[in-house]
Amino acid sequence: MQGAANQRPKPRAQCTAPGPEENQKLTQMLQEPPDAPPAGVLKPIAAKVLMKVFYAARLARFDLLRAAANLSRFVTKWTSDHDRRLMKLMQYIKSTLDYRQVGWIGDDITHLNLHLYADANFGGTCGKSTTGVHLCIEGPNTLFPIEGSSNGQTAVAHSTPESEIMAAWTDMRKSGFPALVFWGYIKTAGKALKKLRKQGTDSGSPVSPQSGSSSFNCS
């Protein structure tokens, strides 16, 4: 122990400033532009293919929205890496042709309501998060999908709660509020039509939807 205490600490290595040759090499490396990735072979048809995928995704395949929306951001700067991503997407579509989006209605309109689900990841392309939305009609025996979307946020979120709050607000503004207005009209019309049919049944003369459509006002 006494011998170890008498040992002197080893001198630390001193950092020397780079010489003129090192500075010249560093400056040359910084001035040289980075090697651009090779252009993708599928670039001429990428937009056409993605738009067709989008059409099916918006109507009946919400599981394709995220992949198609992410690839559509790179249509103008398409590389060989995006060729591989698009190939994987098309292979997934080919292997899931039997997938079907199913919705069912088993309740009266008075028991149905709109349900909006919003979600977001943290970070992503260029540090910006992605917002996801799912709008559907739900009831005790009802689940019917109405809308689904996947959009990139316009600003960089600093935390997961911030990206989630932005997703909730965006979905309410773009999907929730317009759907609530339209849903109010539908429920008002449904209640009035049900009342007219009940009155027609009680009086012995059934009321058709065409004859009763002018008896209520949705404005």
* pLDDT tens-digit series, residues 87-129: 999 999 999 999 988 999 999 888 899 999 999 988 776 778 8
Query: Do residues 130 and 66 lie in contact, with contact meaning Cβ atoms separated by under 8 Å?
Result: yes
pTM exceeds cut of 0.85: no
> With contact defined as beta carbons under 8 Å apart, do 143 and 187 qualify?
no
Domain ranges for the chain, please list them: 43-95, 109-215
Q: Report the pLDDT value the prediction gives residue 209, as an integer from 0 to 100.
A: 47
Contacts of 154 (CB under 8 A, 6+ apart): 128
Q: What is the pLDDT along the chain (219 residues), one digit of tens a residue?
A: 555 556 666 666 565 656 666 667 667 767 666 677 888 899 999 999 999 999 999 888 999 999 999 899 899 999 999 999 999 999 999 999 999 889 999 998 888 999 999 999 887 767 788 899 999 999 999 999 999 988 888 888 888 889 999 999 989 999 999 999 989 888 888 777 777 777 766 555 554 544 443 333 333
